[in-house]
Amino acid sequence: MATVAAARPYPYDVPPQQTALLLIDMQRDFIEPGGFGSTLGNDVARLAAIIPDTARLLAGFRRAGLAICHTKEAHRADLSDCPPAKRQRGTAALRIGDAGPMGRILIAGEPGNDLVPALQAKRGEIVIEKPGKGAFYATPLDAVLRERGITHLVIGGVTTEVCVQTTMREANDRGYECLLVEDATESYFPAFKQATLEMVRAQGGIVGWTATVDQVLAALVTP
């Protein structure tokens, strides 16, 4: 049993055969110019800045031989799994399904819907396409994790307060022990990220734990 000793609010155990890395929506549509994130008027450079640390975290899990899961927010081409209220909300220049510089926005199989090059999934890693913000909604994620005996999730990805936090709360309600990696997650809004970190670890870790990439990697190499 490895332990992330410096995790907050208290040490987080990492049982190797029961722990998976869950990277949320590290997609071109959210992270690169011309994607959905930038059409909403956001500075996507904030999200791109976490790619190197997230890649280090991913490499550490690969070296340790632990389970790895990637998610992508992706809708069907006919938008049958995208509620009209979701598509129509806001004043974005481009909406879900519209043609953009990297193909149709948030549509499965389009170039912009792919993971960023530095974080591409490898053979044997789980890839979940999700139509909602949470990775457990309308996906086989829970069944896939339980089939592998996973009970602990180390979580990174974007954006911290939306898809990452939603997924973490869904996982918490399903009994998973979750740790959010502070420098492997980001928001377009710094205050939203900080608030999420505080909410997650408040009240004795009511939703879960937080720690840095280096703290997690130290636990993986020094069980």
State the catalytic residue, choosing from 72, 82, 133, 163: 163
Catalytic residue among 25, 29, 114, 183: 25
C-alpha to C-alpha distance for 13 and 11, rounded to whole angstroms: 7
- In 11-143, DSSP assigns E strands to 12-14, 19-24, 67-73, 99-100, 103-104, 126-130
Q: Which of 69, 82, 114, 130 does the annotation list as catalytic?
A: 130
Q: Is 25 labeled as catalytic in the residue annotation?
A: yes
Does residue 139 have a cis peptide bond before it, meaning omega lies within 30 degrees of 0? no
Decide if 155 contacts 200 (C-beta within 8 A).
no
Backbone φ and ψ for 100, nearest 5 degrees, come out as -125, -175
The answer to whether 130 is a known catalytic residue is: yes
Contact call for residues 16 and 156 (beta carbons, < 8 A): no
Residues paired with 157 in a beta bridge:
24, 185
Residues whose CB falls within 8 Å of the CB of residue 120, separated by 6 or more in sequence, listed in order: 114
Q: What is the DSSP letter of 120?
A: P
Does 114 participate in catalysis according to the annotation? no
Q: Which residues form the catalytic set?
A: 25, 130, 163
